[in-house]
Amino acid sequence: MQRINNINRHITNIWGNKVTLFLFLLNLITNSTILSSYKSARDVLYWIAISALFSTIEAAFYYCFKRINMQKLFLIIVVFFHVFLSIVDIFLLYNFQQIFNQDTVDIIAQTNPTEAKSFLSTYLSAQFVICTLLSIICILWILRRIALKLGQRKAIAFCLFVLTLIGASVYVITIKNFILYKNGQAVPQLHAFTRSAYSSLVLFDRHKQIVKLQDINSKITCSKPTNYINKIIIIIGESFTPYHSSLYGYNKETNPLLHKRLSDGSLTVFTDVVTYSDHTEGVMCSVFPLNEHPEVYFTDPLFPVCFKKAGYNTIMLDNQYFVGHGITFLTDEKLSSLMFDFRNTKHYRYDGDMLKDLSITDDPQLFVIHLQGQHYTYSDRYPQKFSYFKPNDYSNLTESQKELVAHYDNATLYNDFIINQIISSVEKQDCLLVYFSDHGEELFEVDDYIGHGNAALRPDPTYQIKVPLFIWTSETFCSKHSDIAKRIKESADKPIITSDLAHFLIDVAGFKTKHFNPKQSFINKDYLNKNRVILTTINYEDIKKNKRVKSRYY
């Protein structure tokens, strides 16, 4: 009996302590954001149990630090991380319907200072910061009062003890699965701290993948083409949805200059194109490598390396990725030198400023031009003289929504101008130009959501996944490469995924490499109309069969 009483006393002292209770309540708040995606009774139990487990661990560290009289510093650090991650999660949930995870870290890692400033100016305000700070103070004070009031209650202590055991069991199982099967999805979702740790692990793995890519790309060989296309230009747009393009039937003339190209027959618009991912980094990892499976993009060479080996002078003009900024194959110095003979080192205020560095020579050239396009903040993407669309041009939206959509359409109008300027600069050349957007963009079509990055969780992923793709061919190109021009025209209605574009480009260029797969080139007679897998596991053909959620305002 005395032994049972001692156990009861220990449980009450450990799990009924005011510090443990305070940390438990804090963990509940920090981890509550996982319920935005996981809402079953089991998930709620996991949320509570994992919170109990982490509060126990944190309390144990607290008392260890108490022995060296540093418990207050430890508690301040722990509370800071809890508060910080909670604010980030709530902010992302409110604005983008997603929580802090590896995808978010990717975006942060590749964001340059100008983009970061633009983002913060769009979503943060003095009022928001003040309200947030006051809310934090109030919440922490309330949690402390609750912990003081409920401290040393046996029933609560035993509940926390049992929950901690459940949480430990759950974590052991998920960690075992992670080790055996590399299933990282369950582990980071269980707690904000482990989500952050997992994101760091992904960045570490990406560094190893870059090293593999360096080795693969330094060893590849390619033959010289028998009939060079003098200029091949790939323009990668940003956040351009076909649902706001007049080329695709939008009721506002956002692409007047390209419409003229369509009318004279030099432009081919592809009608059924989807992208592999709903954020830029995922798309780049699917487009550049000659790989059938984008999730393991680091096992095959990158298409610009193949063009460079085949004798093309390769140039990249980029308004988002810069060498040395972030951990990705497009910012790695060695891979960049393997892919390109020239890359810009400065950021351009507007995409049009980039055209000053568009140097056309007599040599065979491959240009990869990555625009900022219609990336937020939309109002920062175009000069004032392109402010054509006004909020009053729209209906069935709030005033603030009308303003944002008008800015987006003006950015699209400016994007039309930029593409036409590039075409004009090579109009007399033997030239093929390909434009596609990295991903789409939602603009209040379904509800009050705007943006991209969480297509799988939206009522209709199509708005973020379907993208514009069009190809312009010069008269000289059509004359010298009539068979290719004909096959391009005939392929306009084929189902296409942008991760196959690298194989199409090599097919068009006509050089040989063992990594080329004709089944992935949509103009090739062997092209395979396969199921298009997006976002790693989703079959887009299943989405296509379902009734699309129609836009509410056009």
Residue range 454-507, pLDDT digits in tens: 788 788 999 999 999 999 999 999 999 999 999 999 999 999 999 999 999 999
Same domain, 154 and 112: yes
Same domain, 380 and 517: yes
pLDDT of residue 198 exceeding 50: yes
Does the residue 554 lie in any domain? no
Same domain, 142 and 261: no
pLDDT at 42: 76
Same domain, 154 and 287: no
Does the residue 552 lie in any domain? no
78 backbone dihedrals φ, ψ, rounded to 5°: -60, -45
Does the residue 38 lie in any domain? yes
pLDDT of residue 140 exceeding 80: yes
Does the residue 211 lie in any domain? no
Q: Which of 89-98, 159-168, 301-310 has the lowest mean pLDDT?
A: 89-98
Distance between CA atoms of residues 541 and 532, nearest Å: 7
3-state secondary structure (DSSP) of residue 382: coil
Q: Mean pLDDT across the stretch 19-25?
A: 92
Same domain, 181 and 294: no
Which stretches does DSSP call E strand in 462-524?
A: 469-473, 496-497
Distance between CA atoms of residues 540 and 543, nearest Å: 5
Same domain, 122 and 261: no
3-state secondary structure (DSSP) of residue 12: helix
For 63-102, write each residue's pLDDT tens digit: 899 889 999 999 999 999 999 888 888 888 777 767 777 6
- The closest of 295, 318, 281, 331 to 105, measured between CA atoms, is 281
Structure tokens at 216: 């693969």
Write out the residue range of the structural domain in which residue 304 sits.
224-545
Same domain, 147 and 49: yes
DSSP secondary structure letter of residue 499: G
Higher pLDDT, 30 or 178: 30
Does the residue 216 lie in any domain? no
Structure tokens at 411: 């950015």
pLDDT of residue 185 exceeding 50: no
Same domain, 97 and 184: yes
CATH of the domain at 488: 3.40.720.10
Q: How many domains does the chain have?
A: 2
Same domain, 196 and 340: no
pLDDT at 184: 42
245: left (phi over 0), alpha (psi -120 to 50) or beta: beta
Contact 11, 161 (CB under 8 A): yes
Q: Work out the pLDDT band at 554, boundaries 50, 70, 90.
A: low
Give the residue from 142, 175, 204 where a domain finishes: 204
Q: Which residues contact 362 (CB under 8 A, 6 or more apart)?
A: 230
Q: What is the CA radius of gyration of the chain?
A: 27
Same domain, 490 and 356: yes
3-state secondary structure (DSSP) of residue 144: helix
Distances, alpha carbon 195 to alpha carbons 140, 199, 551, in Å: 23, 6, 34
Does the residue 210 lie in any domain? no
Q: Which residues contact 273 (CB under 8 A, 6 or more apart)?
A: 436, 466, 467, 468, 469, 496, 497, 498
DSSP secondary structure letter of residue 386: G
Task: Look at the block and give the residue holding tokens 């090739």.
Answer: 524
pLDDT of residue 442 exceeding 90: yes
pLDDT of residue 180 exceeding 80: no
Same domain, 135 and 232: no
First and final C-alpha spacing in the chain: 75
506 backbone dihedrals φ, ψ, rounded to 5°: -70, -35
Does the residue 27 lie in any domain? yes
Does the residue 214 lie in any domain? no
pLDDT at 200: 75
For 398-437, write each residue's pLDDT tens digit: 999 999 999 999 999 999 999 999 999 999 999 999 999 9
- The closest of 514, 384, 442 to 244, measured between CA atoms, is 442
Same domain, 295 and 167: no
For 245-292, write each residue's pLDDT tens digit: 999 999 999 999 999 999 999 999 999 999 999 989 889 999 999 987
Amino acid, res. 365: Q
pLDDT of residue 38 exceeding 70: no
Q: Which residues contact 448 (CB under 8 A, 6 or more apart)?
A: 401
Distance between CA atoms of residues 326 and 331, nearest Å: 6
Contact 90, 33 (CB under 8 A): yes
For 345-402, write each residue's pLDDT tens digit: 999 999 999 999 999 999 999 999 999 999 988 999 999 999 999 999 999 899 999 9
Distance between CA atoms of residues 489 and 1, nearest Å: 87
**CA trace torsion 66, 70, 73, 78 (10° rounding):** -40
CB atoms within 10 A of CB 167: 26
Q: Work out the pLDDT band at 181, boundaries 50, 70, 90.
A: very low
Q: Work out the pLDDT band at 552, boundaries 50, 70, 90.
A: confident
3-state secondary structure (DSSP) of residue 26: helix
**Residue 436, beta-bridge partner list:** 236, 469
Distance between CA atoms of residues 7 and 2, nearest Å: 9
